[in-house]
Amino acid sequence: MELAWGLLFGVVTALAGHVAGFDRDRSFYPTMMVVVALVYVLFACMAVPPSPVWHELLAASLFIAVAILGFRASLWFVVAALVGHGLFDLVHNHAISNPAVPLWWPGFCGSIDLVLGAVLSALLRRGRLQARRQVPDRVAGGRRDAVVPTDF
């Protein structure tokens, strides 16, 4: 049942991001990746004692680093991070012992991750988002058609 709820929640999240216009900004899906990665850290902080915090922080840091790389270089890295985190959810309980993670969470979170990764992939393939960040021309103050004075 957690898979169905996760799929529904993923679709609603992507749809809400689209309706609000958030998905037109390159930072929306990388930000979603950061939030998703930090939930396991939150669960680790809730554990008594909070022994898995460092393990969860290490795992989250890897996904956050890929999200930042994706924002700066290519959003395809963010697709990989979201799908990778969805797969990580499948093995999380075997890789990190975190007693505060609810039994239903990995399936729920994993299905959300996969939906968000698929939606971002579709946006990139359809050209709704550019995979690579457009770097403005610094000489012309960000305008490529601007006339640059030559008499300094």
Q: Rounded to two decimals, what is the model's pTM?
A: 0.82
Per DSSP, 137 falls in state -
Is position 45 within any domain? yes
Percent of the chain exceeding pLDDT 90 equals 72
- Considering the domain boundaries, does residue 94 fall inside one? yes
Mean of pLDDT over the chain = 88
Q: Per the domain annotation, does 57 fall within a domain?
A: yes
Residue 7 banded pLDDT, cuts 50, 70, 90: very high
The verdict on residue 146 lying in a domain is no
Structural domain count, the chain: 1
Q: For residue 149, is it within any domain?
A: no
**Domain housing 69:** 2-125
Backbone φ, ψ for residue 74 (5° rounding) = -155, 130
DSSP string, 60-110: HHHHHHHHHHHHHTBTHHHHHHHHHHHHHHHHHHHH---TTS-TTHHHHHH
Residue 152 has pLDDT above 60, yes or no: no
138 belongs to a structural domain: no
Answer yes or no: is 23 within a domain.
Answer: yes
The whole-number pLDDT of residue 151 equals 47
Tens digits of per-residue pLDDT, 13-63?
999 999 999 988 899 999 999 999 999 999 999 988 877 899 999 999 999
Is residue 136 in some structural domain? Answer: no
